[in-house]
Structure 1
């Protein structure tokens, strides 16, 4: 589990609480039900209205993933694929079938079964590329939904403030109540800005990044399994896949070695 989102949100709200405490204000004064209902309810409502119900469902399903983080990194699958390459090299492609039931990743599991079944390399690439494209589309949809909420929230907060100020103008004949009413009116704007920058936009950005990492991992799997199917040496499979990982820690290889590895994989 990657705690980046939870850690960031805790620190952000902690900083807000610290400011309120240092200012001598009351946090309870910000927890007004009326503006919070409008800001959160209205923002989610217009977010749903700006897309389709399927977009909203995809976004809700992706929310736990934003807090959990990526299940398996691209680096983590390289050793697994190299192991498949060693098995295929020593025992043949049919031997990969025994790994199918124990493989937790559906994408890798499907490719193992396809290779064991003797699927043509070009057909396998097409199928895997389609799966990657579908995963990328789902990630974009979820990230865009929460980023859209982050765009709507400040405006919805302003609407709440305008509505509250309209009520304030009705109380001009009661000067003693104007101060608290005006202060309460701006709580809606505060929650609009707060929810956008402390909740919706971070979730949208987090899902966008996780989507990029998922596509990278799936691409590593695709290239690795195609190399295994082609009978490439395990050592070169590992080197090739490490070159595809953006945050790899392996030493940089020379251009000559890299070209040689690619030649072996393409043969």
Structure 2
């Protein structure tokens, strides 16, 4: 569990709601179902219109990384690569074939298979870098679902505010309806700006960070496999791979 994400969201909400109370306002005045429906529903519709379905689904699924980050254990990967390097120097590349079935990561399994098959080092790098580019582009496109939501949400909030004011103008002759219309107008703007800057954009930023780390881990793996393929000393491989550690 990523505690800093929980702390960040909690601090933001407490600051906003606490400020509302300090000014003598009531938290209940911010609970406007109509404004929430306009902002969230309108933002969802705009994002769905912009995004292909598979990217939208993947972007939503990736949001769990904010609370439960993907496992990126580069130190363990370095130990694994060094083990392969030492074994290949003693027994040859074919000795690494026994490790392939036990690898859960498809990218790692593909890279080790190319190594065992005796592919040229530069060919290994070329093939795996194509996979990295494809993964990075699609992952970033999926993360942009949240970035897009952060862009649309404030505008939809303004739209909700205008709709609320229109409702107010239509009922100037009935003072009992003026309060509700004005509340929807201003709260819609709060929802739009608040969700964009407290939820959508921060989620997009954190997803991009983890994508960057995953790409770095894969590039490190390529360097290790190429080092084994060209017969580099395990110490040289270790020294180069440790440069990827953060």
Instruction: Please give the TM-score of this superposition, normalised by the length of structure 2.
Output: 0.91
Distance between the aligned counterparts of 1:14 and 1:90, measured in 2? Answer: 60
Whether contact under 8 Å (1:47, 1:149) holds in the other structure is yes
Distance between the aligned counterparts of 2:2 and 2:81, measured in 1? Answer: 24
Question: Does structure 1 residue 27 correspond to structure 2 residue 61?
Answer: no
1:186 maps to which residue?
186
1:142 maps to which residue?
142
Within 5 A, what are the aligned runs for 1:155-194? Answer: 155-175=155-175, 177-194=177-194
2:114 maps to which residue?
114
Q: Deviations over 1:181-212 (max 9, x none)?
A: 31332110000001100111011111111111
Distance between the aligned counterparts of 1:135 and 1:51, measured in 2? Answer: 17
Distance between the aligned counterparts of 2:41 and 2:77, measured in 1? Answer: 41
2:200 maps to which residue?
200
1:8 maps to which residue?
8
1:58 maps to which residue?
58
SS at match of 2:5: helix
Give ranges in structure 2 of 5+ residues lacking alignment. none
Equivalenced residues, count:
246
**RMSD, aligned CA:** 1.9
1:261 maps to which residue?
none
Whether contact under 8 Å (1:81, 1:224) holds in the other structure is yes
Instruction: Please give the TM-score of this superposition, normalised by the length of structure 1.
Output: 0.85
Question: Does structure 1 residue 231 correspond to structure 2 residue 194?
Answer: no
Question: Does structure 1 residue 212 correspond to structure 2 residue 212?
Answer: yes
Q: Deviations over 1:25-58 (max 9, x none)?
A: 3222222111111111110111121232333233
Residue 76 to residue 3, structure 1, CA distance change in 2 (3 Å):
farther
SS at match of 2:21: helix
Cα deviation for residue 142 of structure 1 reads 1.7
Cα deviation for residue 213 of structure 1 reads 0.7
Give ranges in structure 1 of 5+ residues lacking alignment. 248-267
Distance between the aligned counterparts of 1:106 and 1:4, measured in 2? Answer: 30
Whether contact under 8 Å (1:73, 1:213) holds in the other structure is no
